[in-house]
Amino acid sequence: MRALLTPIVVLIAVTALEAAPSSPTAADGAIEPTAGTWRTWVIGPPRALRSVPPPSHPVSRAELAELRKLAAQRDIATRNAITYWDTGPPSYRWSEIAVGELLRSNAYTNVAARDLALLHVALHDALVAAWETKYAYRRPRPSEIDRRLVPAVAVPRSPSYPAEHAVAAGAASAILAYLYPDRAASYTARAEEAARSRMLAGVNYASDVRAGLALGRAVAARVIERGRADGSDRPWTGRVPAGAGRWTGVDPIQPQAATWRPWVLRSPDELRPPPPPAHDSSQLVAEMDELRRFLRTSKTDADALFWEYAAGGRRSFQFWSEVLGRAVLEYRLHHNAPRAARAYAVTHVAFHDAAIACWDAKYAYWAIRPAQLDPGFRPLFTTPNHPSYPSGHSCFSSAAATALGHLFPRDVATFERLATDASESRLWAGIHFRSDLTAGRTLGRDVAYRVIQQSEVDGTRWPSADRVID
């Protein structure tokens, strides 16, 4: 297991060593002044959701007095709240909260992929809309108007109105309330805390916060509408097909996920791989023999168990979310809320569409598992209760690694190595054939390429490998 953790350590070390002092994102030092023109996933042209103009000077003076009063009352609890919500860009903290909820609910990977894609699409579109409003009005930050006000955090190099943390809080809390309605009140409370933290920190006015919460919730409403129509609430009404070479079992895991609506693919079967080798073909005979001859060691067993129970199965979304979050921090996207949101959206949409495409292939072919083909063969652990072809780990990890390699290109080798280990671990455990891995890797990469292509169709390119944004 220690060997498998090494690539993450390498990622931290490499990015820390290579990260140079950042360059401004525009000639005047402004953060992403054109982000308001970026392509959105759901809302269409961001200008249609532009907030009303911010308050004029008399109101602003009253708001400044409120901020000075709050600054004078900062205590340890207040500073802790400010630090908590100021750690990383807004998408970072809300992604952590969402992953925690998914783990608490023991969500299966396909469900988690859907929920995280909804969250990060909402955050992306909300922050793009926020940036359109910011640079339409260009309201100065409070400390730029009143030098007596000492902010508790670094002042972002972007206009004040609306508050980006409030925008993200409004969007994220609404999505989470839709996904977990019994906990809606707690998400609303956390959103209010996140938004207010920016007033306590002295970097946003009360009106910035109010406008931000309203904008975020408006965007979330449109994403929720899309979520309600994605087919994820339809039950499976099919039956397990019988026949030689078919997967055998009862209650297969989420066959209905093969029919959910993708974000980028035109249909779940658009990239469906060719059929797997027949159960009695010379190729599958050779692949079964490879599994029988594979010499398991304590290291390969430990690695396979790591990818099944610590970083795979119901935790694969957590693993790749943490890899993404670490890269976002190491590449210093702290104040670049729209750029970070774009990274989260691209990665999680790729993961989501790869999950749908993978499940489409699984339940189109119903391919037999190794232990079913040879009842005398003993895998390392219980085989997951769904068909063999293609490998889910290979699909998920290849999609995530391809997206991350595009977004953070200095570390592409690290991401690819992680994806390869995740894929190969299924052979080490004896639960997949070689052809399952190959098809899964290809499918995951192809899905990610589609997502990357669509996300940049507006001409907005990700920074080069040598550029760090702050």
* Residues 376-433 pLDDT 10s: 999 999 999 999 999 999 999 999 999 999 999 999 999 999 999 999 999 999 999 9
Query: Residue 56: its pLDDT value, please?
Result: 81
Give percent of the chain with pLDDT exceeding 70.
91
> What tokens does 312 get?
């795979």
Answer yes or no: is pLDDT of 307 > 80.
yes
Query: Residue 15: its pLDDT value, please?
Result: 34
Query: Residue 3: its pLDDT value, please?
Result: 38
CATH top-level class of 2-9+253-455: mainly alpha
Q: Which CATH architecture has domain 36-46+57-228?
A: Orthogonal Bundle (1.10)
Query: Residue 9: its pLDDT value, please?
Result: 36
Q: Tell me how far apart the alpha carbons of residues 188 and 207 are, in angstroms, rounded to a whole number.
A: 18
Answer yes or no: is pLDDT of 252 > 70.
yes
Query: Residue 19: its pLDDT value, please?
Result: 32
pLDDT per position as a tens digit, 199-212: 999 999 999 999 99
pTM over 0.85: yes
Q: Are 190 and 172 in contact (CB under 8 A)?
A: no
Answer yes or no: is pLDDT of 131 > 60.
yes
Mean model confidence pLDDT for the chain = 91
Q: Do domains 2-9+253-455 and 36-46+57-228 have the same CATH topology?
A: yes
Query: Residue 318: its pLDDT value, please?
Result: 95
pLDDT per position as a tens digit, 162-190: 999 999 999 999 999 999 999 999 999 99
**C-alpha triplet 108, 396, 127: angle, nearest 5°:** 85
With cut-offs at 50, 70 and 90, classify the pLDDT of residue 313. Answer: confident
Query: Residue 12: its pLDDT value, please?
Result: 33
With cut-offs at 50, 70 and 90, classify the pLDDT of residue 455. Answer: confident
So where are the chain's domains?
A: 2-9+253-455, 36-46+57-228
Answer yes or no: is pLDDT of 446 > 60.
yes
